[in-house]
Each structure stands twice: as C-alpha cells, then as structure tokens.
Amino acid sequence: MSTSKKSRSLLLNIRNISIEGYSDEAWHPIIKGVDLQIKRGEVLGLIGESGAGKSTLGLAAMGFVRAGCRFTGGSISFEGKDLTKLSEKEKQKLWGTKFSYVAQSAAAAFNPAHTLLNQTIESSLSHNLETKENLKKNAVKLYREMQLPNPEEIGDRYPHQVSGGQLQRTMTAMAMTSKPDLIIFDEPTTALDVTTQVNVLATIRSIVKEHQTAAIYITHDLAVVVQMADRIQVLRYGETIEVAKTNQMLKSPNQEYTKSLWAVRSIQKKPQKKEDTILKIESIDASYDSGPMVLKNIDINVPTGRTVAIVGESGSGKSTTARSITGLLPPTNGKIIFQGRKLPARLSERSKEDLRRIQMIYQSPDTSMNPRHTVRDIIGRPLKFYHGVVGNRYTEKVIELLKMIELDESFIDRLPEELSGGQKQRICIARALAAEPDLIICDEVTSALDQIVQEGILKLLLRLQKELKISYIFITHDIATVKAIADEVVVMHQGSVVEQGLKKDIFSPPHPDYTKLLLSSVPEMDPKWLTRILTQ
Amino acid sequence: MSKASNQYSAKNEVSNTHVRRTIFQRSLISLSKAPFTAWLGMIIVSSYFFVAIFAPYLAPYGEAQIFKVPYAPWDNVHIFGTDRLGRDILSRLIYGARNTMGIALTTTFLAFLIGVGLGLLSAILRGWVDQILARFVDILMAIPSLIFALMLLSIFGSTALNLILIIAVLDSTRVFRLARAVGMNVVVMEYVEAARLRGEKISWIMGREILPNILPPLVAEFGLRFCYVFLMIASLSFLGVGIQPPTADWGSMVRDTGELIQFAAYDVTAAMTPILPAAAIGILTIGVNFVVDWFLYLTSGLKDEHQ
C-alpha cells in the first residue's frame, strides 16, 4: 500500500507564524512566531495552560483567525499554497473538505433543530463532494465505526435525544465524512465524565489511525494527550517551549517548564486521624420540586479540620448534596447536624451566624463573582456584612486577605474580567475566608483550571486548612485532586453513597463495582494506559 | 528564559488587565468613534434639552400672552404667526418643549421605577408573587393603552399629575416584562446564589447584584420608552385630554392649528403652522432613536463581527 509512503510526507508546514488580537484600542500579540509541522497520518498534541494560544494556533492551521484577530507574519503552507495569502473564498473551499474542526462543547456546536444525520452530511453536501445517498451510507458506516448504538437509526435523532458522549462521537463522525487530511480536535473530551471520556478517546484514536488522517489534538490534560499523540508541542505565552516525540518528552523533558507540568500530580496529603465531627448528615433525601428523588438516604460525616472529598460522575448528586447542606434545597427527610446542633432545613430560617459558619466556593469563578464588582467589594462585603468592618480597617482587612491568598494590594481595584482563572478562584477563596467560616464547601473548584494553576490552588487550600483549622467538603470528579487533598472519601452514584471511608481504604482493593470503574477510568501518565484498559 | 519566570506564582498568571480609564476618558473614546447618525441624534436631543431648560430666555413672548391679531401671518413680529387666540406660535413651541418633555421624562422615570422594581422582585421571588404580578400585567397589556388611558383620564380628570401617574402605570407593564426577562438571566448566576447564601436582603440583591448587570438594555429601553410616552402624551393632548390649556404643548398645538392646513393653496406659510409642532415631535423621536441605536450597538458586542 502507498499509505506508508504517504504517511511520511509533510502535510502542513507552519513557519514563524504570528497572530495579533485587538483589544483596548491596540493590537496585542497572541502567537509570537511559532513553527508547527505535521506529517500525513500523524497526531500532534498541543498542550499548554489557558491563554497560551493553543486554540488560536489550532485554528490558524486551517488558515482561520477569529474575529478581531489577524495574521502579522509567517506562512502556513498546505499542498504548495500559503493559506495566509488565500482569499476567504479559496479558504472556504478547503474548510470542510481538506480540514475539519471538532469543538469542545458538542452540545453547543449542534443545531438543536436538525437531525444528527442531516448535520453530519451538511458540509460535504454543500461542497458537492458526493450524492446525498452515498453520504448517508457513509455516515452510517462512520457511526458504526464510532461505536454509536443503532448506527442506522441514531442519525434520525435530534441532538437533545442522545448523551454528551454520543454527541461528541457524532461530531467526530461529522468531521470524518469529507475524508479530510487534517482534523483539529479542540479539547473534545474536557466536558465529559471520566467514565465516558475513556470510550470517546478510544474511538477517536482508532478512527484516526484507521483512516490515516492527520490530527492536531488540543488539550490541557497531559494524561489525555499522552494517550493520543505521536508528538507533543508545548506552548506558553504564544511561544513554543518544546517539541518532542511523546515517549521522549515523558522520559526526559528538556525545559524546566515542561518538567513542572509533569510534576503537577505530585501533591499527596498525608491523611490524618479523625477528631470530633463538625458536620453530620443523617439519612437525608432530596428532590427538585416534586420530581424524582435525587438524593436517597445520604449519610456523611465531616471531621473537624479535615477534608472530605465527594466523588462521582455528573448527575450522581454531589452538588445536590452541597445544596442541601447550605439550605438552598431543603431535604425532604433526615437532619443536618452542625457543631452538635440541628440546622434548620431552609435557608430563610437560618441565622446570620449559621450562614457565616458554612461558606461555599463554586466551580466557575466567572459566574460566581459579580462582573460589575471590584475585588474590594467582593472580598469586603462579607467583612462588612458579618463583622461590621468599615473605614480604614476595611481596606486593611481586604489587603490582609489578598496576602493570605498570595496576591497583593495591586489587585484591589480590579474587576473579575481582569483576572486570570486561577486568580479569580483565589478571590473566591478570599471571599469565603472573609466570613471566618468553620466549614467550606468546595464544588469542583479546580476543574475549570489548568494543571499548574490547580496545584497552586490545592496547595493554598491545604495551607489555609493547617493555619485556620477549617474543614472542607471537596466535591470533585477528578481522582488526582482527591489524592492530593482528601482525608476521607465519599463515592456517590445515582444519588446514593456507594462507599465512605479513609482515603487509603477507598483507594485500595477490594472495591465495589462502581468505585472500580471510576478509578480505572482516570487517565494515567502512561502512553499504554488506554490500550491496557481497553484490553482488560 | 530566566529561571525565575518558570517558578509558578499566582501574581504572574496571564490576565488581561485593562488600561485604567475614567468614565470620562472612555466616553471620549466612544464618542470619537460614533457614527454620523449618532452625532446627529445627540445634537438633536441636546438642543431640545437646551431649548426646554432655557425656554423663558429664548422665547420672544410669554407662554400664554395674547396678542390682538389671531391667526396672524408669518412676519418679523411673530415669526411663525399666532394661533386662534392670538398667542405667539414660536413662544408656545419653545415652552411646549419644556412641558411635553418634562412630563414625558417624569413619566418615563416613574414607569421605570415601578417596572424595574416589580420586574426584579418577580424574577427573584418567583412562585406566587411572580404569578400574581405577571398575570396582572397581562391584563393591563391586553387593553389598548391609548384607549385605556383615555378612559382613565376621563374618570379621574385630566390634570398633569393624573396624566403622569396613569401613563407611568400603563407603560411600566412593558418595562416590567423586560426587567423580569433580563433579570431572570442574572438571577440564576452563582453570584446571586452566593449573595443569598450570605443572607443578603432582597433590596441588596436587586440593587447591587442584579441591576448593574442589566443596565445596558434598560438604558436603551429608556430611550425608546421616552419616545412612546412622549407620543402618547402628544396623542392624548391632540384628543383634548392631555396637557390642558393654557399650558403650551405640541400635541394640542397641532389640534388647535390643524384647520389652517386647508389654506395651503392661498398661503403656504399658514399651512405650515400645524406642521411645526408635529415636526418637533417627529424630529425628537428620530433623534432619540439614533442615539439609542448607537448605544445598543456599543453594548451588545455585535461590533466584534465587523472588525
């Protein structure tokens, strides 16, 4: 076959590309002279923290820049043509035939008003690649390859009638219909649960290999990229830090920065022995309005000054448990005992003092801080509200809190949009600390952040716990985070507690079936992990 | 790359800080980019306000001053002539700006106070409060507002206060709808939940958490509402139940001088007389709309598409 010869030839060659973005009345560099080569049939992993320019570079590989951005230098050569010089019309001919793009959120990328099949073949049809019948047949074949259930019929469904994982696979099938030379995957599994992610990764990998399609795989999850990529390119601040074969980069990264990326999953908290209980949840049930029960007979104990991690996939009732504890969703049954006293079920019945003692930090700092309030207002409000701090003391206290979270007074007048993701989450932590609480509920506080930033936040939380003796309930679906921070672990599945105990007991066999599945689905930093888990 | 920059530090994370600009500087930048229509709109609106504020100094004669000759033609003494009682048309046009716009502005403010207050209350509390308020608003909106206002004014009498109150209540239903809809999108945000968990009062949640985030659509709506209120007052005055004589008002001026239009064949300027107050209404409406359009364009984010 000619594929082996073909696979060695260079498909795309990006030389010294520079891209600028427009904001604040001026052009700012986003990509500063990056080279990128990709051969036929090769999978290149593009990693880096958010703001590194991964997505911008990924789109640039198709000759595309987002609105408000422009190319300022360099060349992108594909089949002897420089994409930066082509007209919009010429590029449109290439898009959807030679190039395809798989976006992060399949749910947002599909049109809810059309069936999956029609959307799958839409772009190939508009480029007149083949007849409608052939395209349909081909799509069904791809659905089968993507291991979608009922490949003949699933195409007649609408996007809301299939699960998130299925939708992401359909989107990959859609990208494959035109038999492109290059597919760009932009964080295709980030929005999925670990248990779903495994299947999607496996199907993407096999279909790319089967069709000898080249791919750029963009992600911030190192363990994932290690499974998928032949070669890895590390970006930071719009520049290439390092490019190397996956194995080589894993074994001996050259740059300090790459090493630090690899070292992230190294925090391990030593579990400490139990003391007295600060929060005791006794067999609570809960449901939204009069719908089905979403929490069934939950019992959880939180020891004073310790961390209890609640793990489980989405829909398992983790966040609902948090809402019940805070009183936003009063439980229909059972009691919540806090510091030896039964808490009123409803938020409106709790005293200011009750509210002060339990604080909450949310997953997305973007939506949990008012975009129109400055850092001073955000951190200062609980100080004023609970402790009556005003005047000079107010600013002093705010700065004191900023220092506690390793920021300084230069941040005091910023708005949330002027902070990075990690800084935002730190401000949310400071807001919780300002109330001087005894218990903080952290709902997926690190899952929207880059690895290296996650590490910083986790270290901060651990330090604060040591200094202030705060107890945490840490809700997460990320097992690495649990290992880093928890003393005790609660595994939840479909609204019930599967298992609860000390971290070392939960993470060592024997496991109940569900815990086993959950633990085995967590990607590891071993290129053979996915292959191994699939053969098991 | 130096060793130090490889060390992780929360302070050094990439974030897009903006250049610190005062509201004044930001407005200057926006103004320098404003399109021609926006400038035209701003000039129109500000000159109307200028006329309204300085009416006593600008008007050649008093608002209700009566001269000997009714229906005087356009000349040097009475630039736009006089009406059927012998009052100077130009003076009345100038005072009319003050009366019509003053009442329209007060009414719009009141409508927003009622509409935004209740709309946000509805959005936050939901449940039966929302149901009762929303259904009541539905009932009010089901009746054509001009006819409803006519009816209410004939019941309670056409005083300026009644006029303001009745139109404000009728118009607040539209504002209520908008405030409730945009407020609903903000209420579900986690920062509102965080404020609730903190134990904040409903007034704080309304005023400090939600209101700043829904201001742009409300300001735009304010401009449009002002036009509608203004037109409604003019229509009511034209029908004779709005602003009562001798107070000058453009709507009633159109009615009073309306019959002159039939003399167009003999004296074009006389026929123009009723057109003047009508044009005053029309031009202001267009001017306000130009400004509102530009403001919506600035705040909607649509502009990114065209860069």
Report pLDDT digits (tens) over A17-70. 898 887 767 788 888 888 998 988 889 999 887 778 888 888 888 888 887 788
> Between A23, A372, A407, which is nearest B10 by CB?
A407
Same domain (yes/no): A59, A188? yes
Same domain (yes/no): A362, A501? yes
Same domain (yes/no): A387, A289? yes
Nearest residue on chain B to A409, judged by CA atoms?
A: B11
Measured CA to CA, the distance from residue A54 to residue A233 in angstroms comes to 10
Identify the CA nearest to A112 among candidates A175, A160, A162, A171.
Answer: A160
Q: Do A385 and B197 touch (CB under 8 A)?
A: no
- A235 part of a folded domain: yes
pLDDT-derived band at B307 (thresholds 50, 70, 90) equals very low
pLDDT in the model for residue B4: 39
| Position A530 pLDDT exceeds 90 | no
- The helices-and-strands tally (H runs, E runs) of chain B is 13, 0
B16 contacts on A by Cβ (under 8 Å): 23, 417-418
Quote the mean pLDDT of chain A: 85
pLDDT in the model for residue B16: 64
Least confident range of A500-509, B11-20, B271-280: B11-20
Nearest residue on chain A to B191, judged by CA atoms?
A: A368
pLDDT cut 90: percent of chain B above it: 36
Contact B58, B95 (CB under 8 A): no
**Stretch A413-427: mean pLDDT:** 86
Of residues A215 and A179, more confidence is placed in A215
| Position A131 pLDDT exceeds 90 | no
> Between A68, A256, A364, which is nearest B304 by CB?
A68
B190 contacts on A by Cβ (under 8 Å): 362, 364, 367-368
Contact A110, A167 (CB under 8 A): yes
pLDDT in the model for residue A264: 55
B-contacting residues in A 411-430 (Cβ below 8 Å): 414, 417-423, 426
Same domain (yes/no): A346, A256? no
Is residue A376 within 8 angstroms of chain B, CB to CB? no
Produce one character per residue of A466-482: b if its CB has 16 or more CB atoms within 10 Å, e if not: eeeebbbbbbbbbbbbb
| Position A175 pLDDT exceeds 50 | yes
pLDDT in the model for residue B24: 76
B29 contacts on A by Cβ (under 8 Å): 25
Mark which of A214, A233, A262 sits at the end of a domain: A262
A257 contacts on B by Cβ (under 8 Å): 1, 6
pLDDT in the model for residue B19: 65
- A443 part of a folded domain: yes
pLDDT in the model for residue A477: 79
Is residue B201 within 8 angstroms of chain A, CB to CB? no
Contact A432, A440 (CB under 8 A): yes
Measured CA to CA, the distance from residue B62 to residue B56 in angstroms comes to 8
The residues, any chain, with a CB within 8 Å of residue B296's CB and separated by 6 or more, are B216, B220
Q: Do A414 and B19 touch (CB under 8 A)?
A: no
pLDDT-derived band at A263 (thresholds 50, 70, 90) equals low
| Position A307 pLDDT exceeds 60 | yes
B1 contacts on A by Cβ (under 8 Å): 257
Is residue B125 within 8 angstroms of chain A, CB to CB? no
Nearest residue on chain A to B11, judged by CA atoms?
A: A407
Q: Do A237 and B14 touch (CB under 8 A)?
A: yes
Least confident range of A346-355, A370-379, B138-147, B263-272: B263-272
Is residue B22 within 8 angstroms of chain A, CB to CB? no
pLDDT in the model for residue A165: 79
A456 contacts on B by Cβ (under 8 Å): 8, 10
Is residue B2 within 8 angstroms of chain A, CB to CB? no
pLDDT in the model for residue A273: 64
**Stretch B199-209: mean pLDDT:** 91
- A514 part of a folded domain: yes
Identify the CA nearest to A379 among candidates A326, A415, A433.
Answer: A433
Nearest residue on chain B to A22, judged by CA atoms?
A: B307
pLDDT-derived band at A1 (thresholds 50, 70, 90) equals very low
A49 contacts on B by Cβ (under 8 Å): 14
Q: Do A370 and B197 touch (CB under 8 A)?
A: no
pLDDT in the model for residue B5: 44
Which residues pair with residue A218 across a beta bridge? A46, A186
The most confident of the ranges A208-222, A519-533, B65-79 is A208-222
Same domain (yes/no): A249, A327? no
Question: From residue A336, how far is each of A282, A333, A344, A463, A500 by CA, in Å?
Answer: 6, 10, 8, 28, 17
Mark which of A262, A297, A315 sits at the end of a domain: A262
As for how many domains chain A has, the answer is: 2
Is residue A263 within 8 angstroms of chain B, CB to CB? no
Is residue A362 within 8 angstroms of chain B, CB to CB? yes
Question: CB neighbours (10 Å) of residue A152?
Answer: 9
Q: Do B190 and A24 touch (CB under 8 A)?
A: no
Which residues pair with residue A28 across a beta bridge? A21
pLDDT in the model for residue A265: 61
Question: CB neighbours (10 Å) of residue B107?
Answer: 26
Q: Do A420 and B15 touch (CB under 8 A)?
A: yes
Quote the mean pLDDT of chain B: 85
> Between A256, A385, A420, which is nearest B14 by CB?
A420
B-contacting residues in A 123-162 (Cβ below 8 Å): none
Q: Do A368 and B307 touch (CB under 8 A)?
A: no
Q: A24 vs chain B: nearest CA distance in angstroms?
A: 7
Element at A492 (helix H, strand E): strand A488-493
Question: From residue A72, how far is each of A37, A235, A238 by CA, in Å?
Answer: 19, 19, 14
pTM: 0.79
Is residue B4 within 8 angstroms of chain A, CB to CB? no
**Stretch A146-164: mean pLDDT:** 84
Question: From residue B46, how far is each of B53, B55, B57 by CA, in Å?
Answer: 10, 14, 17
| Position B188 pLDDT exceeds 80 | yes
Contact A59, A184 (CB under 8 A): yes
Choose the mutation target among A28, A372, A404, A407 for the interface with B, i.e. most B CBs under 10 Å: A372
Choose the mutation target among B31, B198, B214 for the interface with A, i.e. most A CBs under 10 Å: B198
Contact A362, A428 (CB under 8 A): yes
- A384 part of a folded domain: yes
pLDDT in the model for residue A252: 80
Same domain (yes/no): A220, A171? yes
pLDDT-derived band at B266 (thresholds 50, 70, 90) equals confident
Q: A396 vs chain B: nearest CA distance in angstroms?
A: 19
Least confident range of A3-12, A167-176, A192-201, A481-490: A3-12
Identify the CA nearest to B179 among candidates B113, B108, B105.
Answer: B113
B-contacting residues in A 54-73 (Cβ below 8 Å): 67-68
* Residue ranges making up the domain that contains A418: 277-535
* Residue A263 three-state SS: coil
- A244 part of a folded domain: yes
pLDDT in the model for residue A2: 40
Same domain (yes/no): A221, A355? no
Q: Do B15 and A370 touch (CB under 8 A)?
A: no
Whether residue B246 is preceded by a cis peptide bond, meaning omega within 30 degrees of 0, is: yes
**Stretch B272-291: mean pLDDT:** 89
Identify the CA nearest to A225 among candidates A54, A91, A19, A464.
Answer: A54
pLDDT in the model for residue B28: 78
Mark which of A262, A297, A330 sits at the end of a domain: A262
Q: What is the CATH number of the domain that holds A302?
A: 3.40.50.300
| Position B240 pLDDT exceeds 80 | yes
Is residue B6 within 8 angstroms of chain A, CB to CB? yes
pLDDT-derived band at A421 (thresholds 50, 70, 90) equals confident
A325 contacts on B by Cβ (under 8 Å): none
Is residue B189 within 8 angstroms of chain A, CB to CB? yes
Instruction: Provide the CA B185 distance to its chain's centre, in angstroms.
Output: 24
Q: B5 vs chain A: nearest CA distance in angstroms?
A: 9
The residue assigned the tokens 């010429």 is A90
pLDDT in the model for residue B2: 38
B-contacting residues in A 428-447 (Cβ below 8 Å): 431, 435
Is residue A319 within 8 angstroms of chain B, CB to CB? no
Least confident range of A271-280, A316-325, A369-378: A271-280
pLDDT cut 90: percent of chain A above it: 16
Q: What angle do CA A476, A274, A309 make, to 5 degrees?
A: 5
CB pairs under 8 A between A and B: 96
- A267 part of a folded domain: no
A420 contacts on B by Cβ (under 8 Å): 13-15
B200 contacts on A by Cβ (under 8 Å): 385
Domains of chain B (ranges, CATH numbers) = 34-301 (1.10.3720.10)
Q: DSSP per residue over B72-103, as a string?
A: PPS-SSSTT-B-TT-BBHHHHHHHHHHHHHHH
- A269 part of a folded domain: no
Same domain (yes/no): A240, A281? no
Same domain (yes/no): A97, A206? yes
Q: A68 vs chain B: nearest CA distance in angstroms?
A: 6
Q: Do B14 and A372 touch (CB under 8 A)?
A: no
**Stretch A515-520: mean pLDDT:** 83
Same domain (yes/no): A161, A243? yes
> Between A23, A367, A386, which is nearest B189 by CB?
A367
- A166 part of a folded domain: yes
Phi, psi (deg, nearest 5) at residue A356: -65, -40
Same domain (yes/no): A295, A422? yes
Q: Do A370 and B213 touch (CB under 8 A)?
A: yes
Q: Do A67 and B307 touch (CB under 8 A)?
A: yes
pLDDT in the model for residue A7: 47
**Stretch B257-264: mean pLDDT:** 80
Tens digits of per-residue pLDDT, B108-122? 999 999 999 999 999
Q: How many CA atoms lie within 13 A of B284 on its CB side?
A: 29
pLDDT in the model for residue B8: 64
Same domain (yes/no): A199, A338? no
Is residue A349 within 8 angstroms of chain B, CB to CB? no
